[in-house]
Amino acid sequence: MKKWIVAIIAIVALVLLGFFVKGVFDNTIQLHPIAFRVGPFEVHWYGIVIAAGIIFCYLIASRIGMRQGMNEEHMAEAIIVCLFFGIAGARLYYVFSQWDMYKDNPLEIFMTWRGGLAIYGGVLGALLGAVLYTRYRKNCSFTLFQGTDLAATFLPLGQAIGRWGNFFNYEAYGSPTDLPWKMFIPLSNRMQGYERYDYFHPTFLYESAWDILTFCILFYFYTKKRKHHGEVTALYFIVYSFGRIFVESLRLDSLYWGGWRAAQVTGVALLVIGLLMLFYFRKKGRPISESPVKPTEVSAGRRD
């Protein structure tokens, strides 16, 4: 298909999407969180959007990884392991932050379909999965920070897409506002004490926009500026956390640790850790020109 045809289709799709989003924000279009049912099972838009973001980013990242000599099978295995640990981490982070809700009903901890996942827990859980995979996978075709650098580059793009799952759930919104881009929140989805307000900050949109900017910064750095493995991973912690700290200050549904917003505490900690990591990798990291991938593994990771 010619590029100009693709461009026209993309522009039309974006315009239609814009009208759709505006209709939801104005309350001329009402959303339902359930996309469809299969027997007793409900498939939610939230899950569809999250899955779409993961698949889309993996397909792009894996192609780049194969060009660099990473084995396709190893990358597929790694993403499965990281997803498992990521979901577990996201759930544990949320449960820890809401322990009063679960301490008397521990079985509800496993009922993830009722909601309750936190992105920072997911990122840290996935990082643990990557550590374990690269440590124990025999003849792994990439090192820990080779893998996390590639993943960290595309993770913000996946997050930008995934945040629109909150859009379908009317969640992750901020304080009441009269700004032109205010979002209508149905009464049933409003936080207690805010029933008399109709329009709120669409903080999910703010974070999605910040995630896109983060992706652009990391992709440019990954392809043009990085000198050592691990630098992009560090930069992800810095750039993403910087924006999340400010967006979180507007949200009404934040998780709290005592009197502090959990995401802001975690964000500050990871921002500092990211700065230390970046300084360390710039000084003592493995140069990207020194690839540990063996020639046999390189050929195994490519397809003609």
Give residue 302's pLDDT band: very low, low, confident or very high (50, 70, 90).
very low
Residue 51 lies in a domain: yes
**pTM, two decimal places:** 0.89
The answer, yes or no, to whether residue 74 has pLDDT greater than 70, is yes
Please tell me the least confidently modeled range out of 1-15, 83-97, 128-142, 206-220.
1-15
The yes-or-no verdict on residue 136 having pLDDT over 50 is: yes
Q: 286: buried, middle or exposed (CB in 10 Å: 19+, 13-18, 0-12)?
A: middle
As a whole number of angstroms, the distance between CA 93 and CA 117 comes to: 7
**DSSP E strands: which ranges in the chain?**
34-38, 41-44, 183-184, 199-200, 256-257, 260-261
Residue type, 291: S
Q: 82 lies in a domain?
A: yes
Q: What contacts 24+ positions apart, CB below 8 Å, involve 99-105?
A: none
Name the band, by pLDDT with cuts 50, 70 and 90, for residue 292: low
Q: What is the mean pLDDT of residues 50-76?
A: 95
Asked if the structure places residue 5 within a domain, the reply is no
Mean pLDDT score across all residues of the chain = 90
CA–CA distances in Å: residue 77 to residues 54, 130, 142, 202, 268:
14, 10, 12, 36, 32
| Mean pLDDT of all residues in 8-26 | 90
Residues above pLDDT 70, as percent of the chain: 93
* Whole-number percent of the chain with pLDDT over 90: 77
pLDDT band (50, 70, 90) for residue 290: low
Residue 24 lies in a domain: no
Identify whether 15 is part of a domain: no
pLDDT at 294 over 90: no
Averaged pLDDT, 219-226: 95
Task: Inform me whether the pLDDT recorded for 255 exceeds 80.
Answer: yes
User: What pLDDT score does 106 carry?
Assistant: 79
Determine the pLDDT at residue 1. 59
Range picked from 102-106, 112-116, 250-254 for highest mean pLDDT: 250-254
Q: CA separation (Å) from 280 to 92, 150, 151, 285?
A: 30, 19, 20, 7
Task: For residue 105, give both structure tokens.
Answer: 């009903």
Q: What is the mean pLDDT of residues 194-220?
A: 96
Q: How many domains does the chain have?
A: 1
pLDDT(265) > 70: yes
Q: 189 or 296, which is more confident?
A: 189
Question: How many residues does the structure list for the chain?
Answer: 304
- 295: its two tokens: 């020639």
pLDDT at 114 over 80: no
Q: Label residue 110 exposed, middle or buried (CB < 10 Å: 0-12, 13-18, 19+).
A: exposed
How sure is the predictor about 101, in pLDDT bands with cuts at 50, 70 and 90?
confident
Residue 52 lies in a domain: yes
Tell whether 12 is covered by a domain: no
Residue 59 lies in a domain: yes
Range of the domain at 120: 31-300
Q: What is the mean pLDDT of residues 122-148?
A: 95
Burial track 245-278 (b if 16+ CB lie within 10 A, e otherwise): bebbebbbebbeeeeebbbbbbbeebbeebeebb
pLDDT band at 277 (very low <50, low <70, confident <90, very high): very high
* Angle 146-148-150 from CA coordinates, rounded to 5°: 70
